[in-house]
Every structure is written in structure tokens, then in C-alpha cells.
Amino acid sequence: MNRRATTAAIAVSLASALTLTACGGSGGDSVAADAKQTLTVWAMGTEGEKLADVAKDYEKANPKITVKVTPIGWDVAHQKLVAAAAANKLPDVMQMGGSYLTEFADMGALEPIDTKTFQEKDYFPAGWEQGEYDGKAYGVPWYVDTRVLYYRTDLAEKAGIDKAPATMAELKQAAEKYQKAGSRYGLSIQPNGLDSVQSFYQFLYSAGGEIVTKDGKAVANSPKAVKALENYTSYFKDGLAAKSVRPGYDVTKDFNTGNVAMFFGGPWHMGLLDDNYPNLKGKWAIANVPTDETSASMAGGSSLAVSSDSEHKAAAQEFIQYLTDAKGQSDWFERTKDLPANVNAWKSGELATDPNMKVWKTQMESARVSPSQPKWTEITSKIDAAIEKAAQGKTSAKAALDEAQSQIEGLIQK
């Protein structure tokens, strides 16, 4: 072989070896908050897209800081975050849901937040709790969400319903009346599939039940939980709710046609209905979750967390402060209609005056968070399975939850 070919071969192999090792870390000391630096931020879905505009405003006010926002899709978010955590390459600031936060805090990938700067009393309790793990706060609540009852007011008139159902018994009656008046299904709740537990929470929490207590005891088959699941599955048995729903089902479509008269939805459904079905405006309303023992809904939303590997922790914290103080939160609400996690933002403007916002606020105040268990996804998958079995009438609610209970006991971490 001549020399040139040998050189080429060596070059090629060296190049490939370099590419493979090029992802080495660049560890170093942390940078002061006012030094010139670039913050990397990851946010999911719509938030990821809108956050870039906020970042631009922030850069104007803080010329030394460059904020680089990367929007990532929810469908790939988990995978990307895990890969980044494994490679010690998490961004400085990242958006995280409650279940993610527990998981990554458990991995040791997150930096506890400074509770002097961010104070618990400024946020909805359910929002704050989502950022806690093992007694420490790892996330600052950014926006919150919960579920309330959406119902068709025009169809209610025809069905002879004069007010929003206030109790679980009234909810059932309303569903029957709607159906008699021509709706295919009185209520839409999820009978099977991933995260059906999210529509079950409203029934479970309102009945006074829960899956795992805060101090780590499985109570999935408590009499209250059984009663809640019996109530939930009775809608399928009586034909008041669809017995099978495919992945990717969009309830607003059926709500628009009147095929579905009521459903439990999040704040984003208001925007979806207004944008996609402008003709429906004025024909629907929202109400608090009907009371069983109490009216309690699930709490969702996202927190902002700082990576434990970040070299820009000080600046990251200032950026988060900008996003989560009362002013930043009102601004964010204007842009996205995401519900502010900071209660002080609710004291003025549309948030204080709009009657719909009042519904969200009262629901949010009593909304409940799932306990921070690292295996929460696996735990709720057992409840999903129980819901599915009971919804199809394969086993009784009690038997389904008994089975789930024994499986969940082995998954709890104390």
C-alpha cells in the first residue's frame, strides 16, 4: 500500500475515534450570576415554543445573559432527559412534570432550590408539593393545572337540567338526562389505556380515597377507593360513557357534536374549544368537580428545575425567579393561558375577575398531588389495569383493586 493510502486510512480512523470521544465533559467552577454567560433551557410542547419569546425579553433586560431555549416534544421528552442525565448533559434549566421531577431528583440529577428566594406560601400547595421530593424542594412551580367539569349548557336546557351537577349523584342524573335528550354519551371518562387513572382521580379524591398515602402506605383497595371505582365503572355499565376509547381520542370533537355532553377537562380545553369550535361559544360552561365527600381534583402542571451539573446555577435561579414571580406569571398567562402557580398573580386582571377563573382557582386550592414515589408511573399503571378490568365488568371493583393493591405494595419506596 502506498503512503498516501496509509495516511488516509489513519486519518479516517482517527477522525471517527475523535467523533466518538468528542462528547467528553467540560467540568469547571460555577459562574457568577452577573457574568456573561449562556443559559440552556429545555421546555416541552407549547411552553417550549412560547418560552423563546419570554427569553428574548429577558435578554433585553439582562444583556449579559443569553438564554437558549430548546423546545422538545412531550413524546420524546422523557427519553431525551434520561439520556442527558446519564451523560451529565442536562440543560441548566428544565421544565418538569411532577412524576418526572421525583424520578430525576431520585437520580440525583437536580439541584435543590433556594427556599429563601422561592417561598412556599407564594404558590398553590399542590403546585409546591409537586416540586418536593424526600422533604426537599427541587422544583419551582411554573404553571398548574387541574380538572373541572365541562358541560353543554344549550343541551342542558333541552334535557331539563337547570344547573351544573353539584354532587356525584346529580352528575349521574345529569348524564342520564342528557342521554335521554339525544346525546350518545352523558359523560366522557376514560375506560382503558394509558393514564386512565387521570380521569379516575376526580372520583377517587372526591370520595376521600387515594392510592398511596403521603407516608408511603398503599391504600388502593380502601373502602372509599372501592366505592369510587364502583361509581366510576357504573357509567360504563349503564351505557352512560363509551366503553372503549382509542389512544389519541379527542373529546372536544364529540363535545362539539353533542355526542358527549360532559367531560372532565384541563385548562387547555378552554383554548381548544374556543379555537377549534368558535360556534360553540356560549354553549358550554365549566363547574367544580361534583362533591362526593368533598370536591377534589387532581393537580398537574409543571415546575422549573435546575440541573445539579449546571455551571450557571446562580443565573438559572434568577431566570426562574423572573418566570415565577407574580409579574412573570401574569405575563405568562397572557401568552399561554396556562394557570399561574403563583397565587399572587391571581389578585388582579382577568385572573381575578373572570368567573371561569374562579372555578379554576377554587378547584386548584383543594387539588391533590400524587405522593412523590420514584416508581409512580409503574404504580399508576396497576390502577389503569384495575380500571380497565372493572370497566369491562370482568371483575368487581373490589377484586380489581385488591389485585392492584398487592402489586403496588411491592413497588413502594419508603
Partner 1 sequence: MSTTTPTRARSGAVKAPDSGKAGRRKKRSMGKQNLAGWLFSTPFLALFGVFMLFPIVATLVMSFTDFGQRNVRRPLEANFVGLENYTKLFGDDQFLRAMFNTAYFVVVGVPLTIGLGLLVAILLNNGIERARTFFRVGFYAPVVTTIVAVAIVWRFVLDPTDGLIAGLGDELGFTAPDFLGSETWAMPSLILMAVWRNLGTVMVLMIAGLQAIPTEVREAARLDGASAWQELRRITVPLLRPTLLYTTVITTIGYLNVFEEPFVMTQGGPNDSTLTVSLDMYKQGFSFFNMGYASAMAYVLFVVIMAITVLQLRLMKDNTK
Q: Contact region for partner 1 (CB under 8 A) — 12-20, 30-38, 166-174, 207-215?
A: 12-20
- Footprint of partner 1 on 111-170 (CB under 8 A): none
Question: Is residue 95 a contact point for partner 1 (CB under 8 A)?
Answer: no
> Taking CB under 8 A as the rule, which mask of x and - marks residues 372-401 in contact with partner 1?
--xx-xx--x---x--xx--x-x-------
Instruction: Say which residue the cell 427541587 belongs to.
Output: 138
Q: How many Cα atoms occupy the beta-carbon half-sphere of 252 within 13 Å?
A: 17
The minimum distance between CB 261 and partner 1, in angstroms, equals 16
Q: Count residues contacting partner 1 (CB under 8 A)?
A: 40
The minimum distance between CB 192 and partner 1, in angstroms, equals 5
Question: Is residue 76 a contact point for partner 1 (CB under 8 A)?
Answer: no
Question: Is residue 247 a contact point for partner 1 (CB under 8 A)?
Answer: yes
Question: Is residue 89 a contact point for partner 1 (CB under 8 A)?
Answer: no
CA distance 160 to 178: 8
Instruction: Say which residue the cell 387515594 belongs to.
Output: 210
Could you give the angle at the alpha carbon of 128 between the alpha carbons of 126 and 129, nearest 5°?
65
> Taking CB under 8 A as the rule, which mask of x and - marks residues 183-212 in contact with partner 1?
---------xxx------------------
Q: Contact region for partner 1 (CB under 8 A) — 81-89, 147-155, 265-273, 341-349?
A: 81-89
> Nearest CA to 155 among 4, 294, 258?
258
Q: Would you say 141 or 374 has its CB closer to partner 1? A: 374
Q: Would you say 287 or 306 has its CB closer to partner 1? A: 306
CA distance 211 to 409: 10
Question: Is residue 412 a contact point for partner 1 (CB under 8 A)?
Answer: no
Q: In what order do the strands lie in the sheet with 185-188?
A: 185-188, 260-265, 148-152, 284-287
Q: Contact region for partner 1 (CB under 8 A) — 15-23, 42-50, 197-205, 208-216?
A: 15-23
Contact criterion met (CB below 8 Å) for 314 and 94 = no
The amino acid at residue 276 is N
DSSP-based three-state secondary structure for 285: strand
From residue 284, alpha-carbon distances to 1, 202, 256, 395 in Å are: 80, 20, 10, 36
Long-range residue pairs from 246-249, CB within 8 A, at least 24 positions apart, any chain: 246/193, 247/193, 247/194
> Which uninterrupted H or E stretch holds 132?
strand 132-133
Question: Is residue 406 a contact point for partner 1 (CB under 8 A)?
Answer: no
Binding residues for partner 1, rule: CB under 8 A, are: 1, 5-6, 9-10, 12-13, 16-17, 20, 78-79, 82, 85-86, 88, 103, 106-109, 192-194, 243-248, 374-375, 377-378, 381, 385, 388-389, 392, 394
